[in-house]
Structure 1
């Protein structure tokens, strides 16, 4: 039987990059080389997608004024999110959220917007009963970018605090396309030892044992 396993060093590198991936918010202004950015985007394009629909579209933001307008949209939604947290939880939690750094849009070396493609209704294979598999496919592409960026020594942050209709209008996307992620990529002074929301005390990560069931749904609450 053929041995398709990677070498021990290669296997260790795969698990290491997964373990050390972080959703980054703090960046240095150092530019990202065009070669490295191309490699990261190629990693995204090698992601699996249901029915091979490849629903990911990436818009690179190079205009500084546009970057500031995107930041304004995010800041607007940040305030709405804080208000919703206050109504759902309490005002102390709302204030705690407002103290969090939720993005690095104005600081990162590269800014991209990931969007779902238009004409998605034409892709039926794998989506007839699960149309949200288009989002799952784009998420796989973004995860590939995260891992590739970390392997290259770069940080990446996924910003989802924005109104997709307003961002779509700003970027002139087709009506049936949908922005789902603002991606900050860049050099960092250090990577967080743990996810930032854990380090800041916002939330504790639950163990794997709480997520794995056998034969039927069971609760660990």
Structure 2
């Protein structure tokens, strides 16, 4: 039988999960090269459907490119604010990224040529995206364990970023990841602290056997 982690190791895993935060405030300073290598290796060891490993990680070291990417995000931030209508002003008060302050900026993308991978994707082609999300989560949890903050930026026009990154046809940017030192981790998700949204009760997300007729009253025995 496989050996489970000891109490301290198990507690460390859960601590990383519960203390991981989408960080937007960073302290200027470089990320140690050995630490960055460990984080990228952790991302590369994520599970992937059909072992297709669809993630491509681009490290941004060119200052002009970082500025251009920030400009693309700022444009989409304005468009998003307009689309939110009555929540426009509330959204504009939020800090949504730390791209110019973080020590490292990474772009996570889907590879090209994914159509040849059928294993696990014939009826669910979006499993390539799910696999990249697993890589991002691996990196996020490893960063928290290393005492580094990470923020996921998704406010950008896909074609604009694709062009900036000179990606081949079929490749697609999924996330801009801000990585770096922070003064402190938020005690709760920032959007919860800002009262933008709150965490849903687990009973509204976990069902037993069938999708409930009345989701608002559905609870599992564990949730209760």
TM-score (norm 1): 0.96
In the TM superposition, residue 217 of structure 1 has moved relative to its aligned partner by 0.7
- 1:37-56 to structure 2, matched below 5 A, reads 37-56=36-55
**Residue 11 of structure 1 corresponds to which residue in structure 2?**
10
Alignment of 1:75-86 (within 5 A): 75-86=74-85
**Displacement of 1:220 after TM fit?**
1.4
- The equivalent of 2:220 in structure 1 is none
After superposition, where does 1:40-189 map in structure 2 within 5 Å? Answer: 40-86=39-85, 90=86, 93-189=87-183
Aligned length: 215
5+ residue gaps, structure 1, are none
Q: Deviations over 1:153-192 (max 9, x none)?
A: 0000000000111000001001210000000000000000
Match of 1:220 among 213, 216, 223: 216
- Tell me, what secondary structure is at the counterpart of 1:220? helix
Q: Name the CA distance, whole Å, in 2 between partners of 1:146 and 1:16.
A: 13
CA distance in 2, matches of 1:196, 1:108: 17
Please tell me whether residue 28 in structure 1 is matched to residue 27 in structure 2: yes
Instruction: Give per-residue Cα distances to partners, 1:19-62, cap 9 Å, x unaligned.
Output: 00000000011110110000000000000000000000001000
Q: Secondary structure at the match of 1:183?
A: strand
Distance 1:129 1:55 in 2: 17
**Could you state the TM-score of these two structures normalised by the residue count of structure 2?**
0.95
Aligned residue for 1:39, secondary structure, equals helix
What's the secondary structure of 2:160's corresponding residue? helix
C-alpha distance in structure 2 between counterparts of 1:29 and 1:70, whole Å: 18
RMSD: 0.8
* Cα distance in structure 2, aligned partners of 1:220 and 1:75: 37
Matching residue of 1:192: 186
Give the Cα–Cα distance (whole angstroms) in 2 for the partners of residues 43 and 26 of structure 1.
23
Which residue of structure 2 aligns with residue 209 of structure 1? 203
